[in-house]
């Protein structure tokens, strides 16, 4: 635990050793297939460039992001590796991506034609996205093979990969649906091979599928949330990477029946001692967690009370020992024998750890160790 209360109101601690450990688990579970480390959304809030640099030291040479802006920022930060944009880019930006040696995703034959027309004699590395059941981006399964083959033969397009994404790989009751998605992907990959596209990188497994589904047609994986220490399964020994801590600015007594914060949504059931913590929804505390989340302060759990504000949140420290201005409140992480991970924090906010981590805003300083 880093105590930065003398210099910061709120900060995140990023444990690079745990990040590297999780990467090794992903590689091991996949049988050492090629790894596209997913570092979109600023590496799920952990810092894309810093995480990429750490993963490169573990042998990772390929990264996946969501947009042109994310790819450019990563490349300009000095990351010398393959960068794949998994979202659909505007055709007008294709030549720019080609110049920076950034790979793109093509989601339909029409999209491919637009990309080809915009290349002006250049060529770009492309992966083809197939929609096997997400009803999101990608070639529909019916006609996908013909469409991808046609796209791959357009001027300026270098076919490098094909991929899909599972809709419910973490849900046991949906395993039949997940397997049907995989079977469609297997059929498409085999058909593309017969059509002459033999050397494509094939990837369909993100974190939950890496852990919970055995696949053989793919020769690459896309670990995302598991890199940062979380999964729907308990099979892999993952380690949370981020801790989130903030400073107690003030303590005060609130009399029985008096209210705390906006809309008077919480009233003291008895004379209570309240601590004001320098963390709010502009920092990434989800307002939906108001009066539901807990924090750890001086090694003791405390209930958050009242509506979470933009820059502050209040906790009930009645009966707790040693809490004073300058004490450190842990929102996510461990303090003494107590621990709140992103799973618990997210559940109390009626969401998932992905959102809880990605919501940590840019004004929260990240410290790496």
Residues marked as catalytic? 40, 262
Instruction: Give Cβ neighbours of residue 193 (< 8 Å, ≥ 6 apart).
Output: 200
Decide if 4 contacts 369 (C-beta within 8 A).
no
Q: How far apart are CA 197 and CA 192, in angstroms?
A: 5
Cα dihedral 341/343/349/351 (nearest 10): 150
Provide the pairing of β-strand 294-297 with 201-203.
unpaired
* Torsions phi, psi for 93 (to 5 deg): -105, 0
Q: How far apart are CA 89 and CA 96, in angstroms?
A: 11
Q: How far apart are CA 263 and CA 220, in angstroms?
A: 51
Report residue 210 as tokens.
Answer: 């890496």
């Amino acid at each position: 635990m880093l105590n930065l209360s003398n210099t910061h109101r709120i900060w995140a601690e990023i444990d690079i050793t745990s990040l590297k450990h999780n990467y090794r688990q992903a590689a091991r579970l996949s049988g050492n297939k090629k790894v596209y480390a997913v570092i979109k959304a600023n590496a799920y809030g952990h810092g894309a460039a810093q995480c990429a640099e750490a993963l490169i030291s573990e042998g990772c040479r390929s990264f996946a992001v969501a947009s042109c802006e994310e790819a450019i920022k990563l490349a300009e930060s000095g990351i010398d590796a393959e960068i794949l944009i998994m979202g659909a880019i505007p055709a007008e930006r294709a030549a720019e991506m080609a110049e920076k040696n950034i790979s793109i995703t093509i989601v339909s034959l029409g999209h491919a034609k637009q990309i080809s027309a915009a290349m002006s004699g250049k060529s770009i590395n492309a992966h083809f996205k197939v929609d096997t059941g997400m009803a999101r981006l990608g070639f529909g399964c019916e006609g996908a093979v013909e469409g991808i083959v046609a796209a791959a033969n357009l001027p300026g397009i270098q076919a490098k990969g094909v991929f899909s994404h599972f809709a419910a790989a973490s849900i046991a009751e949906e395993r039949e649906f997940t397997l049907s998605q995989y079977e469609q992907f297997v059929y498409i990959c085999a058909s593309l091979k017969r059509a002459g596209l033999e050397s494509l990188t094939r990837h369909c497994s993100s974190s939950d599928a890496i852990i919970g589904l055995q696949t053989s047609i793919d020769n690459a994986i896309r670990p995302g949330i598991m890199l940062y220490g979380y999964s729907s399964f308990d099979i892999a020994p993952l380690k949370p990477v981020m801790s989130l801590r903030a400073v107690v600015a003030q303590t005060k007594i609130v009399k029985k029946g008096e209210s705390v914060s906006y809309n008077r949504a919480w009233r003291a059931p008895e004379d209570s001692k309240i601590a004001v913590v320098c963390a709010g929804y502009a920092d990434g505390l989800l307002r939906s967690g108001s009066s539901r989340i807990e924090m750890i302060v001086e090694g003791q759990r405390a209930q958050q009370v009242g509506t979470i504000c933009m820059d502050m949140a209040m906790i009930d420290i009645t009966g707790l020992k040693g809490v004073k201005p300058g004490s450190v409140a842990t929102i996510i992480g461990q303090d003494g024998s107590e621990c709140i991970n992103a799973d618990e924090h997210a559940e109390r906010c009626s969401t998932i750890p992905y959102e809880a981590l990605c919501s940590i805003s840019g004004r929260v300083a990240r410290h790496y160790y």
